[in-house]
A and B are shown apart, each in its own frame.
Chain A
Amino acid sequence: MESTIKSPQENEDHTWRVRLLKIWRRNGPGYLFLLPWLIGFFGLTLGPAIASFYLSFTNYDLLEPARWTGLSNYKFAFFNDARLHKSLSVTFTYVMWSVPLRLSVALALAMVLDRSVRGVSFYRATFYLPSLLGASVAVSVLWRQIFGSEGLVNYLLLLTTGITGPSWVTHPDYALSTLIVLAVWQFGSPMIIFLAGLRQIPQDLYEASSMDGAGSLRQFYRITLPLLAPVIFFNLVLQTIEAFKTFTQAFIVSGGTGGPVDSTMFYSLYMYLEAFANFRMGYASALAWILMVIIGIFTSIAFLTSKYWVYYEDERR
């Protein structure tokens, strides 16, 4: 007997090797196929995230090695950075307006497109287009033209009412509103999700409620909205996160300045300027983590309150 000659330690090593080899034989090819994603996740997402967490406690300008400064970046952000506070206010305002407006428009259009109208699939595709283009540079440039002082909006305004409108994108009072309108215009993806959700509501519930004497408004509030709540919740969380991260539109429309007078200084834009214009990588990293916490808080609030307003079909309460 060979194994009786070996010491117990050697024996254990041997079985471990056999076991590892077995696991590799069984799972190895799977991991090989996963490799591109694993490289992407660890190299481009998790790695930089961990690095940024470290950098958020340092002073780092890309040229010299990072210098540990403890919590000073966070302290500065919380107590001293007036521009950051302005950007927070801009971002919050944007989120508070753009998300409900976008979701309302998306839901309204989804309900219109849910009817069996001729050519409805064409309209569906057409209405989805703005979402594909909305966040792109080209549309932001176009938006800047349309809402400029001599843009289409002012031309129509002059034509219909005789009023000479301001330059919407360069006026501090209107610039943010213009961006909110642009955001509402990107209703496509929540609309498609709403449409799928509406299709899930059994038709006979509408029939039953109309036998119960309910008109379409009552049906909307008592049947559609509550049964769509899980979808509304999903869209709300997704769109809130998206809105907090808004960057492209603000960057293009304001020419990368967040102007006029910081009126479109979105959080992400400010973070970008700190990182790539002022080369304060450490501070920008801290800002990124603060944004993550803010988004986390808002998402948690949504989840915690959801049990009071979201009904799930499979729940048994």
Chain B
Amino acid sequence: MARLELKNVIKNFGSVEVIKGVDLAIGDGEFVVIVGPSGCGKSTLLRLIAGLEEMTSGAILMDDERVDDVPAAKRELAMVFQSYALYPHMTVRKNLSFGLETMKVPKDEIESLITAAAETLQIGALLDRKPGQLSGGQCQRVAIGRAIVRNPKIFLFDEPLSNLDAELRTQMRIEINKLHQRLNATMIFVTHDQTEAMTLADRIVILNGGKVEQVGTPLELYNNPDNMFVGGFIGSPRMNFLPGVVLPETGDNTRIKLVGGNEIHTKLSSDSLPEGAKVTIGVRPESFVQVDANRALVTGEVQIAEHLGGETFVYVSLTNGDTITVGIKGQAKLVPGDEMHLAVAGSEFHIFGEDEKVIRHV
């Protein structure tokens, strides 16, 4: 177990800046998920931590000691690769013992460590097989086993579940979660799947274009996104964005007129907004409520209704041509063509300025 700190980490590939100054502190035993769209630099960041890539500038500290110049082989980390990267010519047992043999661990100790890991991951029956004879899920377990046996300072996971089918992915997600609870080890997990991030993380790091957009617990990010990117990235189906214009204030109230809709009233936490400023209102699908026509914030026509049983997602096309997603608990009796009058429940909406940063309101 260890603490990890990144200080202004920059990585360039040629003239392309991939990681643009990342600062991050990860606590002992914390499960941190780095999430972002493809090409945002999340895997590169993980590889920098692993020592598989060299930083252009900045510092990486492990338990307050700089490890920038320490080669990957000496950092005492373990990594689970997207491709599993199991040694194809070795049996599962050899795959597990390879790192321990390198560390010159006594033979009987290796044997007991392998037995323990095999039991944890239920791969005891596979020990004498080669990776070619295993299924994707089994390969994944072996890859995790290879990391566990070495008792590393930090576990690194590079999109380990992306090659598995949906069911297996959910199952492995739960198992990784359990594993973290049992080992209480520091884990850094990279994924592009926000569901994985939400379900696994103690804290999520949202990376976009090589920069950290926001760091926080899953619910912090969900409830209080710092900007439109985070708001849109976290949550599925994604947050709806409705353009609006600020109207003259009435008393303390800020009034925002939605394009193709009515006014929304709120009280800003800090400074007021100038009249005529363009803003974007972010509303999560489940924050919409159906209301009478005279109280509606927006009105539109149902295009598609997705009935998932426990909930219904309705795609509504607004008068200005935009489409929004509305989440309704239970089985809504809606068919394409139905008219929907929608308002926002309480103050469950977010205001984003022209710079896409959030403007907090009460």
Contacts and interface: CB of A to CB of B under 8 A. Distances in A.
A165 interface: no
Given A213-B99, A213-B102, A208 B85 contact: yes
A202 B89 CA distance: 13
B163 interface: no
A312 B146 CA distance: 23
A215 interface: yes
Contacts of B102: 212-214, 218
B87 A209 contact: yes
B71 A210 contact: yes
**Interface size grouping (class) on chain A:** 20 to 34
Contact of A202 (B51, B78, B83): B83
A214 B85 contact: no
Contacts of B88: 205, 227, 311, 313
Contacts, number: 70
A109 B98 CA distance: 27
A212 B98 CA distance: 7
A204 interface: yes
A223 interface: yes
A212 B50 CA distance: 11
A2 interface: no
B333 interface: no
B85 A204 contact: yes
B77 interface: yes
A15 to B, nearest CB: 51
Contacts of B83: 202, 204
A213 B77 CA distance: 9
Contact of B77 (A204, A205, A211, A314): A211
A314 B131 CA distance: 11
A317 interface: yes
Contacts of B50: 207, 211
B160 to A, nearest CB: 12
B133 A316 contact: yes
Contact of B79 (A211, A218, A313, A315): A211
Between B77, B98, B146, the greatest number of chain A beta carbons within 10 A of the residue's beta carbon is seen for: B98
B72 interface: yes
A35 to B, nearest CB: 44
Given A212-B146, A213-B73, A207 B81 contact: yes
A213 B132 contact: no
A207 B85 contact: yes
B133 A205 contact: no
A222 interface: yes
B87 A207 contact: no
Given A211-B78, A212-B150, A213-B102, A313 B132 contact: yes
Interface string B82-94: 0101111100000
B103 interface: yes
Contacts of B79: 207-208, 211
A95 B83 CA distance: 42
Contacts of A211: 50, 52, 72-73, 77-79, 99
B182 interface: no
B130 interface: yes
Interface of B: 50-52, 71-74, 76-79, 81, 83, 85-89, 98-99, 102-103, 130, 132-133, 146, 150
The 9 closest A-B pairs by CB, nearest first: A212-B99, A208-B85, A311-B89, A204-B85, A213-B102, A210-B72, A226-B89, A211-B79, A210-B73
Given A207-B81, A210-B51, A210-B73, 6 more contacts: A204-B85, A205-B87, A208-B146, A212-B146, A213-B74, A213-B150
